Structure 1
Amino acid sequence: MGGGVDCDVLVIGGGIVGLSTAHALSRLAPGTRVAVLEKEAGPARHQTGRNSGVIHSGIYYRPGSLKARFAVRGAAEMVKFCAEHGIAHEVTGKLIVATERAELPRLHSLVQRGRENGIPVRELGPAQIAEYEPEISGLAAIHVGTTGIVDYGQVAAQLAESSGAEIVYGAEVDLISRRSSAVAVRTTSGLVVRAKVLVNCAGLQCDRIARLAGDDPGMRIIPFRGEYHDLARPELVRGLVYPVPDPAFPFLGVHLTRGIGGGVHVGPNAVPALAREGYDWATVRPRDLATELAWPGSWRMASRHWRYGAGEIHRSLSKRAFTDAVRRLLPGVTAADLTPAGSGVRAQAVLRDGTLVDDFLIREAPRTIHVLNAPSPAATASLPIGHEIATRTLTTLHTS
């Protein structure tokens, strides 16, 4: 794997974060030679193309965190990017609804957090909830006006086109050799690419890429599958409706999302996947399971959160239980209204002590930048995240 340098920056991963990074490099440093390796036949085949399609406002995230900073900026930048490129999108606003008295303090905390993050929030009582969503039931709610919807697969495709990068699909990486002068990467097809700087945006495979590069990421990806249903009577929901999230978990709970096409998605839950790309219970990959079971953090996480996990699995296996969860928000829904739809898998970073990493996690090594946790709202925040990664990449490029 010796020889010259084929590009300045090599990005592994053709999801929205990798493509946004390539796009930002072309804007920040025109003329930088950028290549992207993506193991699938096209962009956005995993997390990017399999989510709710929501442009998040940033209301949930701790003030000062990367999530909060990037989501608030990212929502505005995403709307602007879509408008400039003719990508269908809509700023719909959304309701976050408390259905039990125990949720009211958490709802009030979200109001405070939203204001600290500079997000306009309107507090609603039951009658005002009905003005927005006549079929939704709740004790209180907040309306967040800056939330929207978009097809992130289309956004990723536009980023790929606009980046000017050389994008190679069907390029799964199996060997990385890092020297003082360059990084060489080989794919399973035998393609070898040499670069001055490597950027790891491999999502569900990011910890494996880090280890291939010779770095200890200090975490493992534990995949959680989110299963969606389509609402057979989409007229029951006008826009976006969310429950009050449990602050102990980085998941937002089963919600109702009207998409760009007019249909309404219901979900997702969050169940342990039996493969990193396990989009149903039938997909089992022993290598992935072995990696999860060998990681001490998996067992510590399970011992801490098994009750929550058991409830999620029950709702996955029982349509009645899933329907009951939806009926907390939408009492008029029946099991017959819910048709199984596609699912997604979240690449959740878990530390050795069992901590579920809640914020973005970016680590740097010689000639290498690893994006090790990019959970929701990564799609919303992809433009500022890409800018941040590109800035770090250029610093590495100019100092190496």
Structure 2
Amino acid sequence: MYDLAVIGGGIVGLATGMAIAQKHPNSRILVLEKESSWAYHQTGHNSGVIHSGIYYKPGSLKAKLSHSGNLSMVNFCQQHDIAHEVCGKVIVATTQDELPLLENLYKRGLENNLNVTKLSAEEVQEIEPHVSCLAGIKVPTTGIVDYREVCLKYAELIQIQGGDLRLNTKVLKIINTNTGQILETDRGSYETKFTINCAGLQSDRIAKLGGVNPQAKIIPFRGEYYELTPEKRHLVKNLIYPVPNPEFPFLGVHFTRMIDGSVHAGPNAVLGWRREGYKKTDFDLKDFLEIITYPGLWKLAAKYYDEGIQEIIRSFSKAVFVQSLQRLIPEIRSEDVIPTHAGVRAQALMNDGFLVDDFLIIKGENAMHICNAPSPAATASIEIGKAIVAEIEIS
């Protein structure tokens, strides 16, 4: 029997396994992943940003864990020689009505104990010469990394501590027992005293297999990106973000220099018709019916109708997408960007139409379910793992 089993081999699942292995080195640990490699879904498709925590409500788990997680992630990368860079970013206001929102964001940064600095338009251009704006904020602790590399190191450290890692192993059924759970998979059964569900895009379904109703459903939002052509990468030095619409739960189209030197532009955010669908044409009937019949989706759509329409238009029109980029860098042209990978965000949505704003961690009988861990979960992964382990007793 295992002392603890983790379902899900993304960055949160592996960080949790690593935290258990480090705190309880003599425990028997199992990590199950249904895909053929670690970081296959959200972790392997994200933008690789080490977030500062500026956007999140002070006192929330996101705010606390992303702030401490930023430091932990940078230290981890330094310790294990993982390529990364603390390059900082600028957030800029391009219209008069964005200036009060920028001021509010600056104040939130201070509330979250960040070393943020106000910038004039001229000072922004000293950092990012090609940006056109009215004012900005400098966030120096933001960084970049390849989170797949981080995940591989997490997995290696779990193995060094004697943990069992199982790829290509899908959990089909969870049987609760007096001593824990039996996890029935397509590759046999595993008995464990405690289970941690870090299944990301499937986390609500895994929770229900374990007899827990998370009171929210995972809704997939596909984020589509373009990439600057190599000869235009000089237009972006590091990271350039717009002021986000506080009424809309996404950050808006922005520029991100990746650790490999490429520059990605995006994402837009459109509803996916398959939980693990990375193309416009990806479709799964079960997922589609589950999404389209969920009352919370229609209540959400009613609130964000205009923004949703704009996201859809931008998804199908490169010209409109480029116009969004030109708000930040006017000299960008359509021929300067080419389509690149898309990601899918696992966003928990409640029945009343409200998006779950913070990390959602639900305790069950000899189990814990992480049912909402979108961005900045990668940044905060080490601290999320520690927080989960602090709530668990292993005998």
When normalised by structure 2's length, the TM-score is 0.97
CA positional deviation for 1:188: 2.1
Match of 1:177 among 164, 175, 178: 175
Aligned residue number for residue 194 of structure 1: 191
Given residue 172 of structure 1, which amino acid in structure 2 is its aligned partner? K
CA positional deviation for 1:167: 0.8
CA positional deviation for 1:301: 0.9
1:82-119 CA deviation, whole Å, 9 max, x = no partner?
Answer: 01001000000000010011111111011111111110
1:35-69 CA deviation, whole Å, 9 max, x = no partner?
Answer: 01000001001110111100000111111000010
CA positional deviation for 1:249: 2.6
Report the Cα distance in structure 2 between the residues aligned to 1:126 and 1:391, rounded to whole angstroms.
Answer: 45
Match of 2:153 among 158, 164, 169: 158
Percent pairwise identity: 49
Report the Cα distance in structure 1 between the residues aligned to 2:272 and 2:195, rounded to whole angstroms.
Answer: 29
Contact 2:296 2:353 in 1 (8 A): yes
1:374-397 CA deviation, whole Å, 9 max, x = no partner?
Answer: 0110000000001111222x23x4
Given residue 328 of structure 1, which amino acid in structure 2 is its aligned partner? R
Match of 2:79 among 72, 84, 97: 84
Aligned residue number for residue 221 of structure 2: 224
CA positional deviation for 1:163: 1.7
1:18 and 2:17 are equivalent in the alignment: no
Given residue 336 of structure 1, which amino acid in structure 2 is its aligned partner? E
Contact 2:54 2:114 in 1 (8 A): yes
Report the Cα distance in structure 2 between the residues aligned to 1:170 and 1:347, rounded to whole angstroms.
Answer: 21
Aligned residue number for residue 166 of structure 2: 168
Report the Cα distance in structure 1 between the residues aligned to 2:210 and 2:309, rounded to whole angstroms.
Answer: 36
Report the Cα distance in structure 2 between the residues aligned to 1:376 and 1:80, rounded to whole angstroms.
Answer: 20
Given residue 74 of structure 1, which amino acid in structure 2 is its aligned partner? G
1:308 and 2:307 are equivalent in the alignment: yes
SS in 1 for 2:291: helix
Given residue 207 of structure 2, which amino acid in structure 1 is its aligned partner? A
1:277-297 CA deviation, whole Å, 9 max, x = no partner?
Answer: 110111100000111123211
Report the Cα distance in structure 2 between the residues aligned to 1:88 and 1:228, rounded to whole angstroms.
Answer: 23
Question: After the TM superposition, which of the residue ranges 243-252 and 16-25 deviates more from structure 2?
Answer: 243-252
1:233-262 CA deviation, whole Å, 9 max, x = no partner?
Answer: 101110100000112233111110111111
1:106-134 CA deviation, whole Å, 9 max, x = no partner?
Answer: 11011111111110011111111110011
SS in 2 for 1:379: helix
Contact 2:214 2:371 in 1 (8 A): yes
Aligned residue number for residue 126 of structure 1: 121
Contact 2:196 2:367 in 1 (8 A): yes
Moved segments of 4+, more than 6 Å: none
Report the Cα distance in structure 2 between the residues aligned to 1:254 and 1:330, rounded to whole angstroms.
Answer: 12
SS in 1 for 2:175: strand
Aligned residue number for residue 276 of structure 2: 277
Contact 2:248 2:304 in 1 (8 A): no
SS in 2 for 1:217: coil
Given residue 279 of structure 1, which amino acid in structure 2 is its aligned partner? Y
Instruction: Please show how residues 28-47 of structure 1 align to structure 2 within 5 Å.
Output: 28-47=23-42
Aligned residue number for residue 209 of structure 2: 212
CA positional deviation for 1:302: 1.3
Aligned residue number for residue 241 of structure 1: 240
CA positional deviation for 1:306: 1.7
Report the Cα distance in structure 2 between the residues aligned to 1:31 and 1:137, rounded to whole angstroms.
Answer: 56
Match of 1:52 among 22, 47, 51: 47
SS in 1 for 2:321: helix
Q: Note the residue ranges of structure 2 that are not aligned, 5 or more in a row.
A: none
Report the Cα distance in structure 1 between the residues aligned to 2:356 and 2:368, rounded to whole angstroms.
Answer: 18
Report the Cα distance in structure 1 between the residues aligned to 2:388 and 2:116, rounded to whole angstroms.
Answer: 31
Q: Note the residue ranges of structure 1 that are not aligned, 5 or more in a row.
A: 1-5
RMSD: 0.9
Contact 1:22 1:390 in 2 (8 A): no
Aligned residue number for residue 380 of structure 1: 379
Aligned residue number for residue 101 of structure 1: 96
Report the Cα distance in structure 2 between the residues aligned to 1:161 and 1:46, rounded to whole angstroms.
Answer: 19
Report the Cα distance in structure 1 between the residues aligned to 2:75 and 2:222, rounded to whole angstroms.
Answer: 31
1:332 and 2:331 are equivalent in the alignment: yes
Report the Cα distance in structure 1 between the residues aligned to 2:278 and 2:140, rounded to whole angstroms.
Answer: 32
Report the Cα distance in structure 2 between the residues aligned to 1:41 and 1:17, rounded to whole angstroms.
Answer: 17
SS in 2 for 1:230: strand
SS in 2 for 1:381: helix
Give the number of equivalent residue pairs: 390
Given residue 373 of structure 2, which amino acid in structure 1 is its aligned partner? A
When normalised by structure 1's length, the TM-score is 0.96
